[in-house]
Structure 1
Amino acid sequence: MSSLQAIQQQMLQAVLAEKALPPHIVRGDRIADTNSRLAVYRHGYRFRLRDALKGEFTGLQCMVGQRFETLLDRYIDAHPSEHYNIRWYGAGLAAFLDYARPWRDKPQLTEMARLDWAISTAFDAADESSMGVAELSVVPPDAWADLRLSLQKNLQVLTCMHNTDAFRRAADRDAKRPRLQRFAHPHQVMVWRQAMTVHYRPLDGDEWQVLGAAMRGEPFASLCERLAEHHDESAATLRMVALLKRWLEAGLICGWTFDPSLSGSAM
């Protein structure tokens, strides 16, 4: 190891682990002594980490309130950065809230951190083309039963027991902090990106049944059968058409496949 590399490693340990430095590396003067100068680096490093987390977890900040910076400081203490890119530093925050006191007793915080992170990662997802309503005309009538939808890879569905999305929405709109609600039954929040905009919204129970099946690659006939469990035949058909149109307009569908023996083609 070169002398420069050794100095860099010593500085790294001094900033991250707050270890003492040999006096010749950081020298003091009448303006500031060695410890004061080193404190500038330590404070600056923590400030950058804290600032990056604030940008990623706006919903969590809205939910936690005044104790948010304390939460971030405890996370920084417990999880030194291990990636050269600060953008990924918040990947472990939800897991931290799952076990660290006193936050582990508030599962809504973990839910909120997961939603914030899903929104953040959806923005960075790879670009994918999407299909529009007009392109459905290429599907032959006898191919619909076996048709399987191909959904955007950036699509994420989170299960929540609280009105988590309301806190993120309040943060996005700089609106009044909502009142925390706990649901009797879990509900799902969908996160996806369309062009350069990330969207999120809660899913109705019947929509989640159908969307979840589509994500698992079930054929269109199976999707319709799942809707028939919630509606009569005519209502189920109308609901399926409405859902399919909504997904197409949201850019969720990037293609579909069906038995080539029925038409000789696929999208």
Structure 2
Amino acid sequence: MASTMQLSKSEIVAASLQKIQMELRTQKMPLREAVAETCRILFAFGHDSGLSGQITARAEQPGTYWTQRLGLGFDEITSDNLLLVNEDLEVLEGSGMPNPANRFHSWLYRARPDLNCIVHSHAPHASALAMLEVPLVISHMDTCVLYDQCAFLEKWPGIPVGNEEGEIISGALGDKKAILLSHHGLLVAGATVEEACVLGVMFERAARLQLLAMAAGPIQPIPHDLGCEAQRWVSTQKRFEATFAYYSRRARRGLGAE
């Protein structure tokens, strides 16, 4: 005899979240390995743009973070060739130099102590929206991890290597976890590397869906309460870890975006 058929949706959601938390098996990578794997995942999902884009993760010592070495593509990053830098982008560990555009990451980490990983890329569909100066619209269930979480910087401040750009971008992000930067690209940030990686992949997918939908007609909004419900449903650390592990397996099989 079924015992759950009379339960309300909220009761089923609560019970399911608890079961996911208790029973979904995940395994976290060490921090440096997770950062390097994020680089390779983003490459597999089409985020590479030469030497553009940065993935950073807050390190143990305050005011420091890990990032990739300038001169290497996303697909070439390993845990061994990552650099540990301070807020002035001085290398504390590793060989080489970081991308000077990492400066705005320093500003973001200062402004948002809740964020521990930042993903910035010039993925093609997000960049196409950026060229149109059109904000990202979340109107599909699959991309609701970004619902009500995406800010928009309408005016391009130029190359992001000065402190002015750091102030502008961190201010525009506000309390959100993602932002579309006009004439530039995407930026997402999370409490963990796994969260930031998932948000980065889903941002580009959302941009691709938006461009496809815009070509056919006006995009219809989803109800705000349902969008928020969906965002909460998929935004658990367990879910991020499981999705990150799947993206990793997919990247290692040589599979990219659909």
Provide the TM-score with structure 1 as the length reference: 0.23
- Tell me: higher relative CO, structure 1 or 2? Use CA pairs within 8 A at least 6 residues apart: 2
Greater share of helix: 1
Higher Cα Rg: structure 1 or 2? 1
